[in-house]
C-alpha cells in the first residue's frame, strides 16, 4: 500500500481499471452500454477493494452509465473522492446523494488543486485538535487542587490523577501529529474509452480483466504492452467458471517498470520537465 504523501512529495500513482475481451474490445454493442467491468459481481468486488480510499477518475458518459443502478457500487460511497471529467456544470450532472464526494471537474488540473485544498483542510483540523488538547492541559495545570491538603493547593499538579490526564493528553497530541490524510495518492481511472486513451501514457499500473468472450464494439483498449517498459505483476483466473469449467475472465496486473516518460506536471511535479521533441524511432 502506498503511504499518503505530504505536500513536499505530491506525486500520484495513476492506475487504469479496465475490462476487455482478448482482442482488447471494450464494449459489447449487443448488450446495454454499461462498462464491461460493471457486469460481473466478482470484478465489482475487486473494484471496491482497489478503489478503497483512493481518488477515482472517470469520464462524464461512464458516470452517467453507472447511475441507472448506483446503489450497488460500494466504491461510489467508499472511495475517498470521485472526479467526473466534463465540460458541463457539476450541479446539472452530479446526483444529489453524491455531492459530498463526487465532483465534476472540467480539466485534469482540478484534481491537483483539490488535493491541495484537502491537505490544507486536514492540516487545519490537525492544528485545531492539538490546540484543543493544549488548552485542556493548561487548564488542568492551572486548576486549584480540590481534593488535596492545603499545602497541595499551592502545587496544582500534585494530584496523580491530574498528572496522568496531562500525560495522557501529551500522548494524544503525539498521535495526532502522526496522523496522515486518509486518502491514498493514487488515481484510479475507470474509463471510458476516451479517458483510457487520454491517460495511458501517464499510467503507472493497469488492472485489466480479460473476459473470455468476444465483444462486438469497435473501441479497443490502447496498445501499451512491451517487455521493456511493462511487467506482469499478477495474474489470476476468476472463481466463477463457465459450464465447461473454464474461468469467465482472467485478471492481470501490469506495472510500468520505471516512471512514465510522459507526465502531467500536476501529477509528477518531482520529475524533470518533458523533452520538447522525442527522437523519432530509427528506420
Ligand X SMILES: NC(=O)c1ccc[n+]([C@@H]2O[C@H](COP(=O)([O-])OP(=O)(O)OC[C@H]3O[C@@H](n4cnc5c(N)ncnc54)[C@H](OP(=O)(O)O)[C@@H]3O)[C@@H](O)[C@H]2O)c1
Q: Where are the alpha helices (DSSP H) in 73-108?
A: 74-78, 90-93
Q: Which stretch binds ligand X (CB under 6 A): 1-9, 47-55, 186-194, 235-243?
A: 186-194
- Which residue has 466478482 as its cell numbers? 42
Q: Binding of ligand X at residue 36 (CB under 6 A)? A: yes
Select the residue interacting with ligand X from 15, 18, 137, 204 (CB under 6 A): 18
C-alpha cell at 102: 463526487
Select the residue interacting with ligand X from 14, 21, 26, 82 (CB under 6 A): 26
Q: Binding of ligand X at residue 73 (CB under 6 A)? A: no
Q: Binding of ligand X at residue 20 (CB under 6 A)? A: yes
Q: Binding of ligand X at residue 57 (CB under 6 A)? A: no
Cβ proximity to ligand X: between 73 and 133 the closer is: 73
Q: Is 265 left (phi over 0), alpha (psi -120 to 50) or beta?
A: alpha
Select the residue interacting with ligand X from 23, 106, 131, 138 (CB under 6 A): 106
CA distance 278 to 256: 19
Select the residue interacting with ligand X from 133, 195, 199, 206 (CB under 6 A): 195
Q: Binding of ligand X at residue 107 (CB under 6 A)? A: yes
Q: Binding of ligand X at residue 27 (CB under 6 A)? A: yes
Cβ proximity to ligand X: between 58 and 169 the closer is: 58
> Shortest distance, CB of residue 237 to ligand X, whole angstroms?
18
Q: Which stretch binds ligand X (CB under 6 A): 117-125, 136-144, 154-162, 184-192?
A: 184-192
> Shortest distance, CB of residue 37 to ligand X, whole angstroms?
5
Cβ proximity to ligand X: between 26 and 81 the closer is: 26
> Shortest distance, CB of residue 216 to ligand X, whole angstroms?
12
Q: Look at residue 172 and give its three-state secondary structure.
A: helix
- DSSP assignment of the chain equals -PPPP-TTS---EEEEEEEEETT-B---TTS----GGGS-HHHHHHHHHHHTTSEEEEEHHHHHHHGGGGGG-HHHHHSSEEEEE-SS-HHHHS-GGGTTTEEEESSTHHHHHHHHHHHHHHHHHHHHHHHHHHHHHHHHHHSPPSSS-TTGGGSGGGSHHHHHHHHHHHHHHHHHHH---SS-SEEEE---HHHHHHHGGG-SEEEEEEESS----S-BPPP---TTTEEEEEEEE-S-B-TTS-BSEEEEEEEESS--SS--TTT-TTSPPPPSSPPPPP-
CA angle 266, 75, 29 (to 5 degrees): 90
Q: Which stretch binds ligand X (CB under 6 A): 61-69, 118-126, 143-151, 159-167?
A: 61-69
Q: Binding of ligand X at residue 112 (CB under 6 A)? A: no
Q: Binding of ligand X at residue 185 (CB under 6 A)? A: no
Q: Which stretch binds ligand X (CB under 6 A): 32-40, 41-49, 119-127, 162-170?
A: 32-40
Cβ proximity to ligand X: between 132 and 252 the closer is: 252
Cβ proximity to ligand X: between 85 and 133 the closer is: 85
Give residues in contact with ligand X (CB under 6 A).
Answer: 18-20, 26-27, 33-37, 59-62, 65, 85-88, 106-107, 190-195, 198
Amino acid at each position: 500500500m502506498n503511504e499518503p504523501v505530504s505536500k513536499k512529495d505530491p506525486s500520484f500513482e495513476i492506475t487504469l481499471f479496465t475490462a476487455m475481451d482478448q482482442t482488447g474490445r471494450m464494449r459489447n454493442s449487443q448488450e446495454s452500454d454499461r462498462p464491461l467491468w460493471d457486469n460481473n459481481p466478482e470484478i465489482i468486488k475487486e473494484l471496491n477493494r482497489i478503489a478503497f480510499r483512493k481518488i477515482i477518475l472517470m469520464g462524464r458518459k461512464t458516470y452517467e452509465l453507472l447511475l441507472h443502478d448506483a446503489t450497488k457500487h460500494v466504491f461510489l460511497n467508499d472511495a475517498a473522492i470521485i472526479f467526473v471529467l466534463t465540460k458541463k456544470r457539476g450541479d446539472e450532472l452530479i446526483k444529489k446523494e453524491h455531492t459530498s464526494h463526487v465532483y465534476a471537474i472540467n480539466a485534469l488540473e482540478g484534481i491537483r488543486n483539490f488535493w491541495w485544498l484537502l491537505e490544507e483542510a486536514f492540516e487545519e483540523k490537525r492544528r485545531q485538535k492539538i490546540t484543543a488538547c493544549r488548552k485542556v492541559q493548561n487548564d488542568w495545570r492551572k486548576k486549584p487542587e480540590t481534593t488535596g491538603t492545603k499545602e497541595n493547593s499551592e502545587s496544582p499538579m500534585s494530584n496523580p490523577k491530574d498528572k496522568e490526564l496531562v500525560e495522557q493528553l501529551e500522548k494524544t497530541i503525539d498521535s495526532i501529529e502522526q496522523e496522515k490524510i486518509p486518502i491514498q495518492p493514487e488515481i484510479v481511472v475507470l474509463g471510458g474509452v476516451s479517458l483510457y486513451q487520454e491517460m495511458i501514457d501517464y499510467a503507472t499500473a493497469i488492472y485489466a480483466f480479460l473476459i473470455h468472450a468476444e465483444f462486438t464494439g469497435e473501441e479497443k483498449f490502447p496498445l501499451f504492452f512491451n517487455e521493456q517498459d511493462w511487467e506482469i505483476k499478477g495474474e489470476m483466473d476468476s472463481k466463477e467458471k463457465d459450464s465447461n469449467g473454464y474461468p469467465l475472465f482472467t485478471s492481470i496486473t501490469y506495472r510500468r517498470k520505471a516512471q512514465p516518460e510522459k507526465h502531467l506536471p500536476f501529477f509528477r511535479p518531482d520529475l524533470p520537465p518533458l523533452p520538447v521533441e522525442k527522437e523519432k524511432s530509427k528506420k
